[in-house]
Amino acid sequence: MNIFSKTFIIAFGLFIAAGSPGAQADAPPPYPLVQQGTDLAEMWCNACHVTGTGTTEDALDAAPPFETLAPLVAADPERYRAFLMNPHYPMRDISLSREEIDSLLAYIQSLEE
């Protein structure tokens, strides 16, 4: 078997393993991802946002509740992913990994009614 055939077989296998793009977009986020996002919200976001995970006494009026953000994040997750990669005032200067951002967005989307 030549290198082209081997490469094609591997690429085809990865394509099949990934499934169709539409099917993945419709699937709910995996629970561990949502749980990690919940933990991150408790650690970083509760100080300003109503996250649904803790006290609301410190929430700021200018910081939208996560429940309000849920349908917006679901409609355009890339916009919010980019926003969280470069937080700016009045958000705290926190540095989240791509995995942490994905987890936080998965948690926020899980709050959509």
Does a structural domain hold residue 59? yes
Full-model pTM? 0.67
Contact 111, 45 (CB under 8 A): no
DSSP state letter for 41: I
Conformational region of residue 89, where left means phi above 0, alpha means psi within -120 to 50, and beta covers everything else? beta
Q: What is the CATH number of the domain that holds 60?
A: 1.10.760.10
5 in a structural domain: no
Which of 30, 98, 113, 33 minimizes the C-alpha distance to 66?
113
Q: Tell me: pLDDT of 22 over 60.
A: no
Q: How many CB atoms lie within 10 A of CB 34?
A: 20
Examine residue 63 and state whether it is found in any structural domain, yes or no. Answer: yes
- The pLDDT value recorded for residue 97 is 93
Bigger pLDDT: 104 or 28?
A: 104
SS3 labels along 24-40: HHHCCCCHHHHHHHHHH
Count of domains for the chain = 1
Nearest to 49 by CA among 113, 3, 111: 111
DSSP 89: T
25-76 confidence digits (pLDDT tens): 556 666 788 999 999 998 888 888 888 865 566 667 778 889 989 999 999 9
Q: Domain limits at 44?
A: 29-110
